[in-house]
A and B are shown apart, each in its own frame.
Chain A
């Protein structure tokens, strides 16, 4: 499957979840086995998206078996008792559809996008995956190789590809967010087939899943098919493992240098964030837009356009269920030392902390957020994912209709307050990415 790379993640985070002006209507029900179902009808285009969100991500993993959740995202396309190996994608393609999946620290998400007369097929395919996916040695061995190639391509071979794992490793000392979803290839190599089967039995159960269907559908017919294919799937027998770890507040800065196959140095700063459903998340998201969203934002204008110390700069709140990180990264311009860029970044953070923001900028922020929210629900695929996440992370699918309200409650004073409270220069992670000067180059 195509993966959410770090940059992909960034793009994903920039799409805000909800539309304020136009209410998204939906219907919900829950099966006896615990499967929660959300349906959204929109008949304007004859397509339908069917998605399943499993509430399992890298944070649910055994620290000695990291990478399992992501590995399963690969394994779950290997087939089932009724779908032969390699046929899953082919079946969808032969009915005019497309499919994809991704894994984050919190969730694993699968979807199929098909012509609307193929909804029953999509439900059948997802129910096969939930009921009796193939978890055998052949599949495990094949996918291990694919994941290795993915690791090389996305992390080792990708300039700055290791930013996320290197940052997480330092930003958390206790919480399982300290490892990235890609995890460890050694762990995957060491794992037995029984361990993989156990993970499937523990987490790929209806009481840990949310099924969302959006598009050109009939509510009654959809519910009938959902019941037909999902009712027989047994509920999990164990309580779902969810880590209960509170990461202690950092009081000292952690600073490191990473040598990478890159052309130009980068400066990364990371600050710990509150849980994703904490009220301050909205202010922090607006703060990131204030700092780097658009050509006229504080840091882009000052550091990229005026001083030309940075080629690019971005502030991204990586929002996670138990508290993510606010990542700032700046790529230096030719001949600029990382220290020089970092000093200027810090000056601007201090400026926001000391002086807050102007009325004009506050109004600009609200306009940008409004535009983003309106544009955020423009596709069925986006609406399905936003509904599923609203239900799982915020406890209510209708959260999709409340985002604008939450943002509009953020005051100017809140923006200054969260800048002071969370962007704590003494309790952060700072990484310099420098070009790798390879051993033998310097030997000669």
Chain B
């Protein structure tokens, strides 16, 4: 063997001659009932997959929003021949898969079990019984899921952008609520099934170890008797978008990050003249880590972990989106960068180098996708569904290669209108609202994408007056000042576990202790004495540093309003807000280190009804009762990202000015 001592490592090896991409063809035939079948034969492995797709217009679900999401699981939940248990067992027994959705069914197995899979698949297709208990189970799961998304900034942002871009009376702009889920009945699902599961709007793709002759025989046998029927069609108006750029803001005062999305409805369908150039455009603008957005907002500015864009195509209406989650402080700077990048894209266009990189990336990805035989089936389906020229995919790479800088630039101009953007932000409103005004009118929305109720505030109201009203409401300054200390015990139920919270407040001497017990065992305790604090949990004792102590201090007083001034907190009245239907003054309390929390005081009663804390979550105070001359809330409802359902803590005992010893704070 000779050595290769002279390998030139300073130059990258050149590419060899480009290999020929053989794009397989799908065979096709149509049954008398209208079912169109595509067969992609690939005998590399002895397995076969059947995919059934229904082609219908999008449906506006209205007061039953969410029912389409239940259709597949309901069909799969039992037939006139088999219970759900029997279906599960028979599918698993042959190592197969079988699933369904509102516009699809999928079955796959080894070749030798193909007839069994078809038997099970058609049993689900022809004979579903839609059991009520399955619907009950699905509704329960769905309601639980909805509850967890109400405080999820990503989900809130998604609802807001859909509501703005498409409008709530469009199938893409509506979403389920507790009310619509509760409205769903078995009949809705059965009606849908009976109306839309028809062969004349269906495509079947068969991929794997099967010839077209065998496929024709099997499909005729299993699907030949499927009765066609008339299927309704629906039309929707193209969403008009906004006249000029506006900002949609959801105030989530506990947010430390802002979810930003810059969106716009676009007219883009698969196969239209802008489609392929929009793939390249997106790759350059925000398709990945080499995109302009990522390079600018993450690599250069460090605002975010990632910034991306997308141009989605759709027969009704597509969407342009550019998005990132950024630190609260840089929200307006980040929006500025998004807007500037859009302006720069339209004014200056893309460069030759960017275009070449994007072409290589898109072409490589196209070539790799051909390894999977299902890609060929998708090509055949798309060609049929979107009425593409028959050589659309065969000449795809050629089309990519022929695109010029001018093509990309003109696509950008045709798709994006920089004067009519929706800029959405989900974050801490009091920190970001004003700063966003320079981008357009700022409109407020709630967490379900509805316009927030605007409430006017008496201009003469001051923060001192709000606090004075509160002290008056709980019993007056003398009564409040007479409360030097308190012991409070509360019970709550967490996922079936009884939790006891006990707190000892010594407001006069700034001492505080708190214990959380689960079934009598102390799980966690906090103690603050003589300017020092510590937290014990899981056998570990952690001393608080100064910043942590000062932060904890904000929540360590029984009547903190009496001490805000002496503790040097900054107080800001931020208008009247709607707190679960009650008008309340919003007061932001900030300590010297900049840590803040928000209190809400009811306009009519003066009482404190809610506290929002970015670190620990929200607490709603209710059921005020008189104890030793002052009003105390007996029910504390705590919501936090860390707990799944609101925690209802009931006061079980309260002692005002109890005898205290050092042991109470150990």
Contacts and interface: CB of A to CB of B under 8 A. Distances in A.
B562 to A, nearest CB: 16
A116 B19 contact: yes
Given A259-B538, A301-B85, A301-B88, A379 B371 contact: yes
Given A259-B537, A363-B93, A95 B371 contact: no
Q: Most A CB atoms within 10 A — which of B4, B494, B526?
A: B4
B621 to A, nearest CB: 9
Contacts of A444: 555, 611, 613, 616, 619, 636, 638
B45 A372 contact: no
Contacts of B85: 296, 301, 305
Contacts of A91: 12
Q: Most A CB atoms within 10 A — which of B15, B84, B144, B524?
A: B15
Interface in B77-93: 84-85, 88-89, 91-93
A367 B95 contact: yes
Contact of A337 (B44, B289, B305, B496): B496
Contacts of B13: 120-121, 123-124
A369 B20 CA distance: 37
Nearest to A31: B1
A96 B356 CA distance: 10
B617 A438 contact: yes
Interface stretch (B154-162, B418-426, B497-505): B497-505
B148 interface: yes
A229 B7 contact: yes
B501 A264 contact: no
Contacts of A439: 514, 524, 526, 535, 537, 552, 616
A438 B552 contact: no
Contacts of B93: 296, 360, 363-364, 367
Nearest to B364: A96
Interface residues on A, range: 35 or more
B660 interface: no
B272 to A, nearest CB: 25
Interface string A219-245: 000000001110110000000000000
Nearest to A123: B13
A261 B92 CA distance: 35
Contacts of B494: 435, 437
Contacts of A118: 15-16
Interface stretch (A42-50, A61-69, A343-351): A42-50
Contacts of A378: 44-45, 372
A232 B4 contact: yes
A121 B144 CA distance: 52
B305 A149 contact: yes
A93 B290 contact: yes
Interface in A189-212: none
Contact of B7 (A153, A232, A308): A232
A441 B640 contact: yes
A120 B495 contact: no
Contacts of A119: 16
B291 to A, nearest CB: 12
Contacts of A255: none
Given A295-B92, A437-B516, A443 B555 contact: yes
A356 interface: no
B363 A96 contact: yes
Contacts of A436: 642
Nearest to B353: A94
A265 B535 CA distance: 23
A21 B526 CA distance: 63
A339 to B, nearest CB: 9
Nearest to A224: B4
A330 interface: no
Interface string A6-22: 00000000000001011
| A-B residue pairs, 6 tightest by C-beta | A96-B364, A371-B95, A46-B19, A117-B16, A440-B616, A295-B88
Given A46-B22, A117-B15, A437-B642, 11 more contacts: A46-B21, A47-B370, A47-B371, A93-B364, A116-B19, A229-B4, A262-B642, A301-B85, A335-B495, A371-B94, A435-B642
Interface of A: 19, 21-22, 44-47, 81-82, 89-91, 93-98, 113-121, 123-124, 128, 149, 153, 216, 227-229, 231-232, 257, 259, 261-265, 293-297, 301, 305, 308, 332, 334-337, 340, 360, 363-364, 367-372, 374-375, 377-380, 435-444
15 contacts: A46-B20, A90-B357, A94-B361, A96-B360, A119-B16, A123-B13, A257-B538, A337-B495, A340-B496, A364-B95, A374-B47, A377-B45, A437-B643, A440-B551, A444-B636
